[in-house]
Amino acid sequence: MLDILYEDKDILVVVKPAGVESQTSRRLEPDMVSEIKNYLHRKVQETKKLSTGLSPKASTAPVDPYVGIIHRLDKPVRGVMVYAKNLKAAAHLSRQVQEGKLEKIYQALVCGKPVDNVGKYVDYLLKDGKTNTSRIVDKSVAGAKRAELEYQILEKKEQEDGTVRSLVEIHLHTGRHHQIRVQFAAHGTPLMGDTKYGAPAAASVGRARREPLALCAVRLSFLHPVTGKRMEFSTKPQFVL
């Protein structure tokens, strides 16, 4: 059931659904790595069957396909992801992440309107592993990591209850834990459906209506690990203003 945007012998670009872990999950829930491995295994078996005209022998032990995790999306976030199909591709793509050559663009619905139509947030985040949350702290705090993003407002709309929602596009420069959710909440415009960092009103609306987190990784751009060609893939968010 994978939504595959592109595939070759080195990489696989897919759209991760909301509610699915982007890496292997210890719980009995679907995750992208397992889904991709199952897909690749089925593909190998089908290829063998076509080449021989016979079903693969049941005694043949399946080879576990390699799936390299290059970047991650939070479980409730939908969006474009790239996975490596071999070690060389994984190393090359991981280097792009470190050098800022893998570009990620998100869209989100936020409560209210950011002060500026086009702006930048630079904060320092500290992750709490016990609660699986992050918060903004002073840069002098031990363990604090710099978090930077740029945004622009694409559209804003007043709702029937008098509140305002804004559709924003976000260029993420760093990939910190829950970064977009934490920064927008701290700057007074929490994401719709965010029951962890949202304002009480937004969180209660999200619970009552069971609204998903209004955040989507809409575009991903990187250099192909073998050809060096710049590649860009996109998807549309499923939320509406």
Burial class (CB in 10 A: 0-12, 13-18, 19+), 110: buried
Domains belonging to the chain, first-starting first, are: 4-234 (3.30.2350.10)
Instruction: Please tell me the distance from the alpha carbon of residue 127 to that of residue 148, in angstroms, as a whole number.
Output: 15
Q: Report the pLDDT value the prediction gives residue 46, as an integer from 0 to 100.
A: 79
User: Looking at 10, 31, 74, 194, which residue is catalytic?
Assistant: 74
Which residues have CB under 8 Å from 59's CB, separation 6+? none
Q: Are strands 11-16 and 78-84 parallel, antiparallel or unpaired?
A: antiparallel
Q: Report the pLDDT value the prediction gives residue 210, as an integer from 0 to 100.
A: 63
Q: Report the pLDDT value the prediction gives residue 198, as an integer from 0 to 100.
A: 87
The pTM score is 0.88
Does 74 qualify as catalytic in the annotation?
A: yes
- How confident is the chain (241 residues) per 10-residue block, as mean pLDDT? 94 96 81 94 80 58 85 95 98 95 96 96 96 96 96 94 94 94 96 86 52 94 97 95 86
Q: Report the pLDDT value the prediction gives residue 28, as an integer from 0 to 100.
A: 76
Q: Report the pLDDT value the prediction gives residue 50, as an integer from 0 to 100.
A: 72
Q: Report the pLDDT value the prediction gives residue 241, as an integer from 0 to 100.
A: 86
Q: Report the pLDDT value the prediction gives residue 230, as an integer from 0 to 100.
A: 97
Q: Report the pLDDT value the prediction gives residue 61, as an integer from 0 to 100.
A: 57
Check if the beta carbon of residue 26 is closer than 8 Å to that of residue 90.
no
Q: Report the pLDDT value the prediction gives residue 1, as an integer from 0 to 100.
A: 74
Q: Report the pLDDT value the prediction gives residue 206, as an integer from 0 to 100.
A: 47
Instruction: Please tell me the distance from the alpha carbon of residue 90 to that of residue 178, in angstroms, as a whole number.
Output: 23
Instruction: Please tell me the distance from the alpha carbon of residue 24 to that of residue 67, in angstroms, as a whole number.
Output: 10
